[in-house]
Amino acid sequence: MNCEVLKIKINSKLAAKLAAMFIVISLVLCSCSLSINTDSDTESKTTPTSGTLSVHYLDVGQGDSIFIELPNQKCMLIDAGENMYGKSITEYINNLGYQKIDYLVATHPHADHIGSMAYVVKHNDIGEIYMPKVATTTKTYENLLNAISDKGLKVKSAKAGMNIVDDNDFSINILAPVTIEEDDLNNCSIILKMNYKSDSFLFLGDAEKKELETVTADMSAEVLKVGHHGSRTSTTKALLEEVNPKYAVISLGKNNSYGHPHKSTLKLLDEFGVETYRTDEDGTIVISTEGSGVTIKTGQTSMKRDE
């Protein structure tokens, strides 16, 4: 054996020893932090499950609020209902074990979508915030912008073609707005598509026919969050032909003054053989998947109005 080879052998022995020491130190440190975590955890909280995507269509009466547990252990909130549900939405999220909302999406600045969002921003750690680039003059909208700037957060202007998440088998893509209609907030709605292995979800906000016709990306999805609370202005034959959903969820309040869901919407969904769920009848609806077929739970906790 020549000297050069010997040197390498000695060095690799030393490296192996150092590596072993490093592993031992890491294990000690790791078990310390684990025990610290265990001590500080409250019993009611569970750790988010890795690998499962769970979409919670929260029952917030006439409005939208959808909380999503992502398979990468992060989470997302799309909309936050009218202004009396902030506490209830926050408790629901915290009880699932989440202390931070990684992605917050305000589909459009109407009160039945952003009403409780200022509360949510004030009372939770927030990651990225997405909104369409359109302003309105309401107090609710102003409160939200103030809550965002008070925390030093920035808003990302959502536009078709952006990706919120783009992993190998999991993605969240923004399909709309393609264009901004200053005086037509519904038709500035952020439209999101979420793909997880063989399953896909489409979220339309309150987009109506006018906006839906501008979308050029593929809208096909297994689960459709029906646009604009089941209004006939959103659900058309052309849309259902394009999306071709197996399941649909309508988010709305009992006996609402808009007559939602419109009869023609329910009729169309029925004609297309779509299994339809609605928050006014089914309460909070949770659709979960590991990426190969969904399971649906109804009658989950409805959001209480704040006192």
Binding site for Zn ion (CB under 5 A): 112, 206
In the complex, least distance from residue 279 CB atom to Zn ion, rounded to whole angstroms: 12
In the complex, least distance from residue 113 CB atom to Zn ion, rounded to whole angstroms: 5
Q: 228 vs 294, which CB is nearer to Zn ion?
A: 228
In the complex, least distance from residue 229 CB atom to Zn ion, rounded to whole angstroms: 6
Write phi, then psi, for 94 (nearest 5 degrees): -60, -40
d(CA 228, CA 94): 28
Q: 189 vs 276, which CB is nearer to Zn ion?
A: 189
In the complex, least distance from residue 209 CB atom to Zn ion, rounded to whole angstroms: 15
Residues 156, 198 contacting (CB under 8 angstroms): no
Determine the distance from the C-alpha atom of residue 208 to the mean position of all C-alpha atoms in its chain, rounded to a whole number: 20
In the complex, least distance from residue 146 CB atom to Zn ion, rounded to whole angstroms: 22
Q: Please give the biggest Cα pair distance in the chain.
A: 90
Residues 157, 120, 42: CA angle, nearest 5 degrees: 130
Other Cβ atoms closer than 10 A to 71: 21
In the complex, least distance from residue 64 CB atom to Zn ion, rounded to whole angstroms: 6
Strand residue runs (E) in 95-190: 100-105, 125-131, 155-157, 163-166, 170-176
Q: 112 vs 282, which CB is nearer to Zn ion?
A: 112
Residues 177, 211 contacting (CB under 8 angstroms): yes
Other Cβ atoms closer than 10 A to 90: 19
Q: 233 vs 244, which CB is nearer to Zn ion?
A: 233
Q: 207 vs 215, which CB is nearer to Zn ion?
A: 207
Q: 112 vs 222, which CB is nearer to Zn ion?
A: 112
